[in-house]
Amino acid sequence: MASATQPTRDDFAAMLEESLGGAEAFEGRVVNGTVTAIENDLAVIDVGLKSEGRVPLREFAPPGQKAELSIGDEVEVYVDRVENANGEAMLSRDRARREAAWDRLENEYNDTARVEGQIFGRVKGGFTVDLGGAVAFLPGSQVDVRPVRDVTPLMGIPQPFQILKMDRKRGNIVVSRRAILEETRAEQRSDLIQSLTEGQVVEGVVKNITDYGAFVDLGGIDGLLHVTDMSYKRVGHPSEILSIGETVKVQIIRINRETQRISLGMKQLEADPWDGVHAKYEIGQKATGRVTNITDYGAFVELEDGIEGLVHVSEMSWTKKNVHPGKIVSTSQEVEVVILEVDEEKRRISLGLKQAQANPWDEFAETHPTGTIVEGEVKNSTEFGLFIGLAGDVDGMVHMSDIAWGVPGEEALEMYHKGETVKAVVLDVDAEKERISLGIKQLDQAGEGTEQLSVASDVKKGDIVTGEVVDVRDGGVEVSIEGGVTTGFIRRSDLSRDRDEQRPERFQVGQKVDAMVTGFDRSKKPNLSIKALQISEEKEAVKQYGSSDSGASLGDILGEALGKAKDD
């Protein structure tokens, strides 16, 4: 029996081609091959085609590493062409890895799973990442949660990434390392915030300092330490007591688990200096403090660490009115103050600066009794008088009617100018209202070398006086009484009981008149009335010479009274 003919290599190739539908069916596929030889930088691989193919060794190694390949190793390669111009198969290990990687990455992308890769290169706008055969783009903004200047420590290290976008047709893959970090951080924050409680004392590291406070890292989550919760004493800027990187002990004040915001405090770990402040500071007590802050409405004075009081602008000086506090005190200045009010509940202490000093108005009243002659500079001229600067940094006022005898007030004001030094007589001092009334025309009654002029009037309300008209105005007449020591004024309506006689022009300077004292003005000058005197005389005449049933007329009664007065 004849033996069958043994099949040749060509027979096997024909059979393989027949089973695969032709060699062209290999093209565009990933197939297994065997390394048959290594020539220089190339690996010769047999994939069962008519001819072998050659693949660069670098395609068998990760980026930046050396390939470890031996003869006989089984490898996967991509068949680009069955036969090129040299009759060899065109194979690619990179394409094989890329195709396998794309298949895997598409499944992971659809499952929103993390992928592992290595940063191996830098390109415009970002970096290149090897995802196990497929190359992806990592934008610079997606490297970390904060900008990273140097990524060298991150290169070549296997780490997780999140695929943001992929397009197989265009071969584009965009990944993010930042998304992984944020997700991990959010998980850590959530776990950490659940473990914290309000009132708990923890340690943290100062991460950032702003004008309004500092952010403290509590081990994965940040808390805000507001400047007002750093200390009981005034803190101008957080950097005064904290520095970045410093480890601090803080207390958790509030936790908002929805927004994951935490408020921290340092002063809560100290004793509250406001406890029992009433016992330490009593109203009227003098104290010494340091000016810490100056505002438009006053100055804050620190009495001790954590306790400040406000000196309102109205309590800063006896004499300096409407002056900015910064012109009276300066920051860091040591001052003596008086406690005016203590409100422990509202944590407020009202202080007085001027109360710690002698009241110049009281001092002036003691050293300058009524009638004292003083000298000062005209500080200001107003429509109603002159303001004179006096000793003790106080001002006195000369009313326009007390400037000169027989000169209308408006003209008298023009006789003196700002900056001029003048002498005057003290007419009245009201320390409570901080008013000093002066007179210039009263100096005419003083002799040469006289230091004090008696201007105190002995007249009282209801007295009948005789005076001399010294000035006639539209509103009435001014009368000198008691030998010119003082003056009084008769208003137009008080010139006569008869309305037709209430005319100032019917009086002349130098004319003698009788009038009744009806009161006194703010300068203690008497207000006079001829009308009141006439009414009083009529009442007295009726009382003495007439009765309700006598039948006598008012004229008869007055005539009899005048006749009696003439006989007397």
Of the candidate ranges 214-218, 281-285, 403-407, 454-458, the one whose mean pLDDT is the lowest: 454-458
- The residue ranking higher by pLDDT, 215 or 544, is 215
The pLDDT value recorded for residue 341 is 92
Question: Predicted confidence band at 3 (pLDDT cuts at 50, 70, 90)?
Answer: very low
Flag whether 555 is in a domain.
yes
Given a contact cutoff of 8 angstroms between Cβ atoms, the answer to whether 138 and 151 are in contact is no
- Report the percent of the chain where pLDDT is more than 90: 17
End of a domain among 338, 356, 374? 356
Q: Which of 362, 261, 353 is nearest to 314 (CA)?
A: 353
Flag whether 16 is in a domain.
yes
Sheet holding 53-56, edge to edge: 53-56, 42-46, 29-39, 74-81, 90-92
Q: Which of 409, 386, 381 is nearest to 396 (CA)?
A: 386
| 136 and 85 in a common domain | no
**Is pLDDT at 166 greater than 90 in this prediction?**
no
Question: Which H helix or E strand runs over 532?
Answer: helix 530-545
Q: Which of 151-155, 213-217, 449-453 has the highest mean pLDDT?
A: 213-217
Q: DSSP secondary-structure letter at 486?
A: E
How many domains does the structure of the chain reveal?
6
End of a domain among 97, 131, 153? 97
- Report the percent of the chain where pLDDT is more than 70: 84
Question: Encoding tokens for residue 167?
Answer: 């397009």
For 311, phi and psi rounded to 5 degrees? -95, 105
Q: Give the 3-state secondary structure of residue 58.
A: helix
- The residue ranking higher by pLDDT, 216 or 562, is 216
Segment 326-336, tens digit of pLDDT: 999 999 899 99
| 178 and 83 in a common domain | no
What Cα–Cα distance (Å) separates residue 81 from each residue in 53, 55, 59, 358, 554? 10, 13, 18, 110, 151
Q: Give the 3-state secondary structure of residue 7.
A: coil
| 163 and 68 in a common domain | no
Q: How far apart are the C-alpha atoms of 105 and 97, rounded to whole Å?
A: 12
Flag whether 108 is in a domain.
no
Question: Predicted confidence band at 87 (pLDDT cuts at 50, 70, 90)?
Answer: low
Segment 350-393, tens digit of pLDDT: 999 988 888 888 888 888 888 889 999 999 888 888 999 988 88
**Is pLDDT at 137 greater than 90 in this prediction?**
yes
| 306 and 204 in a common domain | no
Q: Which of 190, 188, 323, 204 is nearest to 252 (CA)?
A: 204
- The residue ranking higher by pLDDT, 372 or 41, is 372
Flag whether 451 is in a domain.
no
**Is pLDDT at 262 greater than 70 in this prediction?**
yes
The pLDDT value recorded for residue 2 is 42
| 469 and 367 in a common domain | no
Q: How far apart are the C-alpha atoms of 256 and 259, rounded to whole Å?
A: 6
Q: Give the 3-state secondary structure of residue 443.
A: helix
Question: Predicted confidence band at 551 (pLDDT cuts at 50, 70, 90)?
Answer: very low
Flag whether 105 is in a domain.
no
| 561 and 466 in a common domain | yes
Q: Buried b / exposed e across 167-182, counting CB within 10 Å, b at 16+?
A: eeeeeebbbbbbbbbe
Segment 460-476, tens digit of pLDDT: 788 888 888 888 888 88
**Is pLDDT at 274 greater than 70 in this prediction?**
yes
Mean pLDDT of the 47-64 span: 73
**Is pLDDT at 126 greater than 70 in this prediction?**
yes
Q: Which long-range contacts (CB under 8 A, 24 or more apart) does 92-98 make?
A: 92/55, 92/59, 93/55, 93/59, 93/60, 94/59, 94/133, 95/30, 96/30, 97/59, 97/132, 97/133, 97/134, 98/133, 98/134
Question: Encoding tokens for residue 497?
Answer: 């009981």
Mean pLDDT of the 313-336 span: 88
Q: Which of 371, 375, 378, 367 is nearest to 424 (CA)?
A: 375
**Is pLDDT at 27 greater than 80 in this prediction?**
no
The pLDDT value recorded for residue 449 is 40
- The residue ranking higher by pLDDT, 568 or 511, is 511
| 134 and 77 in a common domain | no
The pLDDT value recorded for residue 546 is 57
396 is in which domain, residue-wise? 360-445
Cβ within 8 Å of residue 561, ≥6 positions away:
537, 540, 541, 544, 545
Given a contact cutoff of 8 angstroms between Cβ atoms, the answer to whether 206 and 214 are in contact is yes
Q: How far apart are the C-alpha atoms of 84 and 87, rounded to whole Å?
A: 5
Q: Which of 154, 126, 158, 152 is nearest to 140 (CA)?
A: 126
Matching residue, tokens 């005076």? 467
Flag whether 509 is in a domain.
yes
Cβ within 8 Å of residue 15, ≥6 positions away:
7
For 97, phi and psi rounded to 5 degrees? -65, -40
The pLDDT value recorded for residue 446 is 46
Q: How far apart are the C-alpha atoms of 150 and 140, rounded to whole Å?
A: 11
* CATH number, residue 392: 2.40.50.140
| 77 and 13 in a common domain | yes
| 467 and 385 in a common domain | no
Q: pLDDT averaged over the chain?
A: 81
| 568 and 462 in a common domain | yes
Q: DSSP secondary-structure letter at 3?
A: P
Q: How many other C-beta atoms lie within 10 A of the C-beta of residue 336?
A: 13
End of a domain among 356, 388, 419? 356
| 321 and 370 in a common domain | no
The pLDDT value recorded for residue 15 is 59
Mean pLDDT of the 325-352 span: 90
Q: How far apart are the C-alpha atoms of 285 and 407, rounded to whole Å?
A: 52
Segment 415-428, tens digit of pLDDT: 888 888 899 999 88
| 255 and 292 in a common domain | no
